[in-house]
Chain A
Amino acid sequence: MATRGVRQLAVEGGSKHEGFLRYAGYRWLKIALLLSFTAILIYAFHDARPRPNGGSWYGYLLGTIGAGLILWLTMLGVRKRTMTPGRWSLKAWTSAHVYLGLSLIIVATLHTGFQFGWNVHTLAYVLMMLVILSGIYGIGVYSALPRVLSNNRGETTQMQMLDNLRQLDRQLHEAAQPLDQRHAEIVRMSLDDDPFGGGLIARLTGRYPKCGTRAAQAAIRAETGDRPAIGQDALERIDVLLERKEAALARVRQHLRLKALLEIWLYVHVPLTFALIAALFAHIFSVFFYW
């Protein structure tokens, strides 16, 4: 540690952020491209009779590579959840998962020899393409949304956002004590409302048309709109609190929306993967059984 910090220009790598797409100078992109081009090249020169199909030696080779890849790609889920010691990095796994997964489009399509039909073989192919498509969506949101999520939350955590809401509710509750029945009912619209209800659509769009807080504020505004704001009115205080609650809600809803967008695709990607594996085994089994 003698003169730590002197040799600044010499510092290289390791000390900077590097995303999974750029990992190790796009190593897995290069490998995936190499694999794809080789596959296309051989396909172009391979003379299968009567026509290119999965049953030729080259078809078998591509099929084996494809099936192997699918099973290995699935293992990312296991890798992510097993914290074994060792010099592995999940980032490297993700990088390989993304690029090799994309290369499956080429490998598997060539394996079909462009023969499609209404059968279990094509089902496996279609499922695989759906898994890949959902994965592409995943890459898209993973590269675009993190900074939006970060900007939206500023430096507050989800816990703090929800705490803030609870606190506003308490203040609203107290501020509503001097009100008469009719006005208190308006405040209740906000207090009794489930601000995150509205199902998946609301969660993904961030639109909550039946938001009780907004309705309550509109009702209060309708009451106070024609009066001058003198700052003493209990309703004015409610108005201010509702305004703050709406702003806080907007932030939490946006936060939840972004998190949902970042996760929703996994609910397609993962179950479809299992369906794909099932169809894949049916495909392999039937091919060999009827052979």
Chain B
Amino acid sequence: MAEAYRIAIVGSGPAGLSAAARAAQLGIAHVLLEKTDHLSDTIFKYQKGKHVMATPSQLVLRSDLDFDAGKREAILEIWDRQAAETKINVRMHAEVKAIAGAKGDFTLTLTDGSVIKAEAVIMAIGTQGNPNLLRIPGGDLPHVQYQLDDPGEYVDEHITIIGSGDAGIENAVGLAQDPAQRNIVTILNRSADFSRAKDANVKGLFGMRDAGRLSVLTDTTPQKVEPGYLTLDTRDGETRIRCDRIIARMGSAAPRKFIESCGIEFTSEDREAFPKLSATFESTTAPGIYIIGALAGYPLIKHCMNQGYDVVEIINGNTTLKPADEPILEAKFKGLPRQRTVDEWLEFLRTNVEILNDLSPLQMREFMLDSDVRAYRIGETVFEKDDPGSSLFGIASGSVDVAGRVKIGRGSIFGEVGLISGRRRGATIRAAEDSILVEVSRTAALKLMASNPGAKRVVTRISTERQLLQMFGSGLTPDDLTEVTSTAKVESVSAGKAIINEGDDGCDIFVIRVGSMVVEKNIGGKPVFLSYLPAGSYVGEMAVIDGGKRTATVRAAIKSEVIRLDGEAFKRLLARKPDLLDKARKDMAQRQDLNAFVEAKKDSFSSVVDMYSSVANFLVEQGVGEATDVLLIDENLCVGCDNCEKACADSHEGLSRLDREAGRTYAHLHVPTSCRHCEHPHCMADCPPNAIHRGPDGEVFIDDTCIGCGNCQRNCPYGVIRMDKVPPKKPGLLSWFLFGKGPGPGEPSHEWAYANAEPGVEKPKKAIKCDMCSGIEGGPACVRACPTGAAIRVAPEAFLTVAKLDRGEG
């Protein structure tokens, strides 16, 4: 005879445990099924002594069990004690194999063959059962593991952690904590920032890195595992590092097959999709089965515990219960015109804004905690051109008008440009009718894209479409591009890899989205530098138009991202749009002229061309490939007077933002330590107050909200950001000259600044970097103040021009 209960709870994590506690409190017949021999396996498997956080802090805890931030052991102890106190009916070693039946009469079959009957089932099994596997050659070797139980176990090892989430960071920090273990710990992150992880964890990680205890490799993906070694694909090309152990913490996917076999459907085919749920956690396709916790799309402990409480109340018939975050959300929706409940608003936003479509109601709740929603009257300005701002907007109802030219309708997004490169708003946006818009902060948007593949796809698709429209212009509409954009694939290209090889067939077109490319042609057995293509340009159109073989090799100057467009589809687009064909032909003619020009020069001035190629390659190696504006010093002209540094200091509150002497030099061309205003600034990746922006002239600058944390300084690969206090004001030039007052032109010494500081006022150290003298008439002071003409600021594509060959310069 099978045991029969009103509620069967599968999984004894924070969610299941909290649900069972509520059921016990309400006196409902229940059973808590746990497949291991202890409660809450996920937390049990945390590292020993791990500090468990209680985010989000604004959320109140509503559960019969206690929980607050603290050590893993303390939390488990409290739960074990309270589980016993509340008389929860737990069954250990009970792994559910199948769930059959319908609401009111479910049959759960366990792996040991026993059967349990229940009226309702709460699935709280989490996602940790199936970690995402390392799918690269050698990923199945025995030294690759997906779990770290005790970091104290390993000594004298080269350990690599793959994954940039909290788990990965905590493992890395744990392994490097005790220097006596002599582990050499490396953590890999395939992107530039740690947007998925908790702030405190990221800070801890960077602290350890700065102390030299571990190394952090960003923009890096693993390529191949061998015993003792790991091959990596980095921003600067392939490298091979020592590695005795790999700990892969790349997230996990729901044990999907089992869940689907219970009749529960998922929102999409994506590996990271979530089950379709009603607002009361009930599966829409298998009524009677309630899904809570990480499996439902929300991995934070507090949320899980609240859901456990809520779901039992709901099953018990409590229809007036509001989720614990209700008051926060209520406040957000208060100012909106129509009166709706929070759930209705969430559903309204989710169904109407395309990037939110794939979110579960629970994820929507979390998402809205970090976002804002506002109503705009017709004609009201959302933001002005050149406003700073990096948030993303979604249109839930109505439509907006871009600079009076283009209309963006319901469901779409705008403001996405700021997400990538932090450029200021490119156009003024006004509401074209009464509209309701969701404003998503940059961090929330990055989180959304990182955790929701559907949202990422939509943002990528819309930004691709807009980039193509902007590039090709010529009166195209999104509809014309549908065929081409449907073939678009975003590909990541590592530094030095070729996307087009000279002499190959193929006619795909590539749009450079991130990074930059160099075009080379093989002349007389040597690769000759033809041109430099920054982000925002396209290549490959020649083969489409004249159908020949590729005439040059195009390779990535730094790690880049390209959009590959199908050449055939593009051909058909050209056939339909004579204007576009015309424009493409013009671009092509220019490139052909260029090729012919270089080839002609090569015959007559071979050494000049070689020199030009090698200088170009030097600059590309110096990271000029991601610059938009770089300071270059001709050391044939520089007399070392440092007037550039003095001018910089005197134009910017007494602190110089450039170090003339430092930096690399090749053939008397010197790249000093000074900001090159990257296309995709590394400094922006992790700025807590979001104080780094891009100005209207392309300059990347830090505003007054800087908190002096130093993240940007650490993230800058070129070392151009310094942390310093603003020195006191100097006496004027004349009193210095006539009476020797003050330190004279240029940056005052620290001694002088200290001696003349305003007593009793402690000034904070803030991040200082070049702002291209924006707002100062006449432009960069360093260039204006150079007495000999040695210093210039240029866009790399303007400097790396073959026009130089004509003048016989290197």
Contacts and interface: CB of A to CB of B under 8 A. Distances in A.
B470 interface: yes
Interface stretch (B201-209, B219-227, B685-693, B777-785): B777-785
B470 A2 contact: yes
Interface in A76-113: 78, 80-83, 85-91, 93-94
A90 B637 contact: no
A3 interface: yes
A6 B778 contact: no
* Consensus secondary structure, chain B interface: mixed
A147 B639 CA distance: 9
A8 B590 contact: yes
A6 B533 CA distance: 8
B801 interface: yes
A174 B451 CA distance: 56
B536 interface: yes
A2 B535 CA distance: 9
Interface string A256-268: 0001001000000
Interface residues of A, number: 48
A150 B667 CA distance: 10
A49 interface: no
Interface centre among A1, A18, A87 (most CB of B within 10 A): A1
Interface in B25-40: none
Contacts of A82: 733
A15 B799 contact: yes
B647 interface: yes
A153 B672 CA distance: 14
Given A3-B537, A9-B803, A147-B636, A83 B777 contact: no
A1 B536 contact: yes
A8 B803 contact: yes
Interface string B775-810: 011100101111111101011011101111001010
Interface string A154-185: 11011100000000000000000000000000
A233 interface: no
A215 B125 CA distance: 80
A9 B593 contact: yes
A207 to B, nearest CB: 22
Contacts of A7: 590
Contact of A15 (B470, B776, B790, B801): B801
Interface string A9-53: 111101111111001000000000000000000000000000000
B742 interface: no
B794 A80 contact: no
Given A8-B801, A16-B799, A158-B661, A80 B787 contact: yes
A142 B591 contact: no
B784 A89 contact: yes
B777 A9 contact: no
A183 to B, nearest CB: 37
Given A2-B470, A8-B594, A12-B803, A85 B537 contact: no
B590 A16 contact: no
B477 to A, nearest CB: 17
B788 A9 contact: no
A120 interface: no
B803 A149 contact: no
Given A17-B634, A142-B639, A158-B661, A11 B803 contact: yes
Interface in B648-686: 650-651, 659, 661-665, 668, 670
B415 interface: no
Contact of A262 (B640, B659, B664): B640
B805 to A, nearest CB: 10
A83 B803 contact: no
Contacts of B473: 2
A91 B786 contact: yes
Interface string B93-122: 000000000000000000000000000000
B623 interface: no
Contact of B790 (A2, A5, A86, A146): A146
Contacts of B533: 4-5
A19 B788 contact: yes
Interface string B198-235: 00000000000000000000000000000000000000
Nearest to A15: B798
B638 A146 contact: yes
A268 B662 CA distance: 30
B778 A86 contact: yes
B417 to A, nearest CB: 11
Contacts of A12: 803
Contacts of B537: 2-6
B792 A15 contact: yes
Contacts of A287: none
19 contacts: A4-B797, A6-B587, A8-B594, A8-B797, A10-B590, A14-B792, A14-B798, A16-B809, A19-B634, A19-B788, A83-B650, A86-B778, A89-B784, A90-B786, A94-B787, A147-B635, A150-B638, A150-B668, A157-B659
Contact of B637 (A6, A17, A259): A17
Given A19-B788, A90-B787, A9 B597 contact: yes
A76 to B, nearest CB: 8
A88 B647 CA distance: 13
Nearest to B648: A83
A271 to B, nearest CB: 14
A147 B670 CA distance: 11
B797 A262 contact: no
B663 A155 contact: yes
A5 B532 contact: yes
A145 interface: yes
A19 to B, nearest CB: 5
A149 B640 CA distance: 9
Interface centre among B531, B637, B785, B802 (most CB of A within 10 A): B637
A7 B804 CA distance: 14
B14 interface: no
A150 B664 CA distance: 11
A221 B647 CA distance: 50
A87 to B, nearest CB: 5
Interface string B166-184: 0000000000000000000
